[in-house]
Amino acid sequence: MADPSVQPGKRKREEEEKKEESVLAPGPEGDKAPVGNGTAASARFPFSGFRLQKVLKESSRDKIIFLHGKVNETSGDGDGDGDDAVVILEKTPFQVDQVAQLLLGSPELQLQFSNDIYSTYNLFPPKLLSDIKTTVVYPATEKHLKKYLRQDLHLVRETGDDYKNITLPYLDSQSLSIQWVYNILEKKAEADRIVFENPDPLDGFVLIPDLKWNQKQLDDLYLIAICHRRGIKSLRELTGEHLPLLRNILQQGQEAIQQRYQVKEERLRVYLHYQPSYYHLHVHFTALGFEAPGSGVERAHLLTDVIENLECDPDYYQHRTLTFALRADEPLLKLFQEAKKN
């Protein structure tokens, strides 16, 4: 029986905490695919040195910074030899079940000021509670540097014909490599991170935590479903023929997330990006309360809506005008602007 001396609010919080602890524990198939995988062993960056070239983007609100650096320089005289790398540093969200430890004992503190009942401090957390999520793209291509550089955005409206005449030829020559996608599908990378797989070559997919999620808390839950079938570039190429695949991703993806993380379907945002960065069909699953980058109306298309649109009209995405934003320096934007002048 519940302890009556505990306040109801506190008891509820404790119950929630217990639930939160358990949801991040491995599910029934946990031995095969542990949550939060990787190893605790210390690691090294895949390059040596790092000479900052440019801060590509930063956000004090999101506590994230995108850096472009030169690495592996031999001469050390800054003459530009060496390779390009992008390093993204992000302060991670608090983990509710651990945060109280920050205040236990005598934490390292510096007083900033104190006034009546108010005081502010700098608190220096112990090593285990002060990790910074670090994402490395190395070697980074010119396209990666552009992808992460803060830029003004411009809306474009693309008709079905624009896609065939302007976008598609451009994509074929310009899009980012999708080798990482094939590595996942062929179990050459991240195999131990797979949360669910439907192995059907036509209508199956792999569900895996997104690069952006550290899997330590559910607030920013983020997984992607990558279809096994090759050659479907994006939303634009979907037709009625792909409905079984899309229904599988929606239903089985939601079930797998409920089973593994105890997050129900009504707490999930399930959507496709148009345009995506990587042109192999994939679907994003994020926590509803998390404003994931790219979840705005000019880029995210809810999978439930996509399915219904295709049920009503199997060629819906062949002829609809689709709106998306392009960075100011993107050659595709220029192509659209020139085409619209004529």
The CB-of-86 to ligand M7G minimum distance in angstroms stands at 11
- Of 37 and 248, nearer to ligand M7G (C-beta) is 37
Minimum distance, C-beta of residue 208 to ligand M7G, in the bound complex (Å): 5
Measure the CA–CA gap between 313 and 308, rounded to whole angstroms: 9
Closest distance to ligand M7G from the beta carbon of 286 (Å): 9
C-alpha distance from residue 114 to each of 108, 111, 124, 141 (Å)? 17, 8, 18, 49
Omega before residue 179 within 30° of 0, cis: no
Please state the closest distance from residue 26 (CB atom) to ligand M7G, in A.
18
Query: Please, which residue, 307 or 325, has the CB nearer to ligand M7G?
Result: 325
Any bridge partners for residue 64, and if so which?
59, 90
For residue 321, the cross-strand partners are: none
Nearer to ligand M7G, 11 or 212 (CB): 212
Active site residue 228: no
C-alpha span between 196 and 225 (Å, rounded): 9
Q: How far is the CB of 45 from ligand M7G (least distance, A)?
A: 16
CB-nearer residue toward ligand M7G: 70 or 301: 301
Distance CA 15, CA 21 (A): 10
Q: What is the DSSP string of 226-267?
A: EESSS---SGGG--GGGHHHHHHHHHHHHHHHHHHH---GGG
Among the listed residues 68, 144, 280, 282, the single catalytic one is: 282
| CA separation for the pair 254, 267 (Å, rounded) | 10
CB 185 within 8 A of CB 208: no
Cβ-based nearer residue to ligand M7G, 294 or 314: 294
Task: Catalog residues that contact ligand M7G under the rule CB under 6 A.
Answer: 180, 190, 208, 210-212, 224, 273, 276-278, 294
Q: How many CA atoms lie within 13 A of 118 on its CB side?
A: 2
Active site residues: 282
